[in-house]
Amino acid sequence: MKLSKYSFGIGDRFGCQGSAQLAAFIEAKKLGIEITPVWNKSNREHSTIHTEPDDVRKEADKAVNDANWDGGYFVDADHINLSCVDKFIGPSDFFTLDVADYIGEEPNSADVSDFVQKYKKFAGKLSIPGINEKFHVSEPDLQINAEKYLNAIKEAGNIYRHIQSVRCQVSDVSNSPPCEGGVAEGRGGFHQSNNPIIHHSNLIIEVSMDETEKPQTPLELLFILAMIADEKIPAQTIAPKFSGRFNKGVEYVGDVAQFAKEFEDDLAVIQFAIKSFGSNENLKLSVHSGSDKFAIYPAINKAIKKYDTGVHVKTAGTTWLEELIGLAESGGEALNIAKEIYRKAFDRYDELAAPYATVIDIDHEELPKPDDVDSWDSTKYVDSLRHDRTNVNYNQSFRQLLHVGYKIAAELGDKYINALKENKDIVAKNVTENILERHIKIIFAK
């Protein structure tokens, strides 16, 4: 199974906006921009909202069938590990392997020695086409890289092989096509929501290395890709760490020029790795927490054109904010629900913010008091929440708190879901426009 050149990850906390999300890709295709949608949802989000991975598959399949979408699409088991992967194996055909916790864990000394021996041919001066800087690699450098990353990549290999093993076992039982092979465009064919039998074992693998303190250097990424190749992981996307802050649902904070350099250097490293290690020829970069990072989109667009290469941009959570914006715009009881969610999120700040502490920066002084928010009209609520930095009412802290406050909406249950249904059109309009106008058209513009 082959991921298309351009792909875009879309999260949908409550599973109500699949059609509105897909509408953005349909409109983009009319403009000559072909992008594959990838519906993603993490184990943490499922646990918070009390949904299951099969719910995401059903949502994606329904949206695609209702729209007669003839392009590829995938369902991503987002940020999974061995402790939670099993329930994702049936419904998913894209797996983001999260091994950040294993970075720096001491590997077997014999494995380190074997790695150094295999790659000492790169010792000395090393030039990577596309990067002006000339590198010097020593055997101690190879050892340091192996000691830092080898266990993490071996764990990625363990997860990948476990997924394949389970899928192959079920394929054997069902007399379905073989587990290996197949480069067809993703069509959600692995899982049929009305049949528990798994039909074939094609899948997309991403290795996530972004949740670390510091960005990987070009040499670190190069040897990470060597380790991935050695583990025979057919990764089609790799998510490295970049400089700057990638906070949830708000603008990038950092040196855009530095990000652009790192992004281009990483593209050059990937092309070098494909030639040097036999890495998957379809390998591309993945940018995590990519929603609303408007400042870096031109740099991404420029780089993928320069290298004539693809990219996967993973977003999540902002569709839920567009739901809130749509409810607020609707006024009446829908606006009251949006206000209720904020009040409860404000009161439970510590609980809601803790799981996301590393990816939010909320200034408590900027958070409006719930009593003040209760007095707002639709315009003030929408202007405060919508990510428009030219609007004097835009409040980044207000937006971030609501971003992590989706648990409150989940606790409202049918009250929240029914409000979405009753205000479906205005909510859908916001969801579609956010993906198309603020993201796709800028990142993938020709």
Residues 285 and 341 in one domain: no
Residues 312 and 382 in one domain: no
Separation between Cα atoms, residue 288 and residue 190, nearest integer Å:
25
Structure tokens at 200: 């074939």
Eight-state DSSP code of residue 79: E
Residue 53: partners with Cβ closer than 8 Å, 6 or more residues away: 41, 46, 75, 77, 87, 88, 90, 91, 92
Domain assignment of residue 124, yes or no = no
| Amino acid 171: pLDDT | 59
Separation between Cα atoms, residue 301 and residue 296, nearest integer Å:
9
User: Band of the pLDDT at 169, cuts 50, 70, 90?
Assistant: confident
| Amino acid 437: pLDDT | 96
Q: Does the structure show a pLDDT above 90 at 12?
A: yes
Reported as a single tens digit per residue, the pLDDT across 19-56 is 999 999 999 999 999 999 999 999 999 999 999 999 99
Residues 72 and 84 in one domain: yes
Domain assignment of residue 264, yes or no = yes
- What range does the domain containing 78 cover? 6-107+146-316
Residues 422 and 298 in one domain: no
DSSP state string for 287-350: ETT-TT-GGGHHHHHHHHHHTT--EEEE--SHHHHHHHHHHHHH-HHHHHHHHHHHHHHHHTHH
| Amino acid 179: pLDDT | 52
In the predicted model, what is the mean pLDDT of the chain?
A: 92
Number of domains in the chain: 2
Domain assignment of residue 434, yes or no = no
The arithmetic mean of pLDDT across residues 170-183, rounded, is: 47
Reported as a single tens digit per residue, the pLDDT across 234-267 is 999 999 999 999 999 999 999 999 999 999 999 9
Domain assignment of residue 64, yes or no = yes
Residues 184 and 296 in one domain: yes
Reported as a single tens digit per residue, the pLDDT across 92-136 is 999 999 999 999 999 999 999 999 999 999 999 999 999 999 999
Q: Does the structure show a pLDDT above 50 at 6?
A: yes
Q: Does the structure show a pLDDT above 70 at 178?
A: no
**Pairing state of beta strands 124-126 and 135-137?**
antiparallel
| Amino acid 363: pLDDT | 97
DSSP state string for 199-210: -----EEEEE--
Residues 102 and 220 in one domain: yes
Q: Does the structure show a pLDDT above 50 at 428?
A: yes
Domain assignment of residue 325, yes or no = yes
| Amino acid 191: pLDDT | 42
Residues 206 and 351 in one domain: no
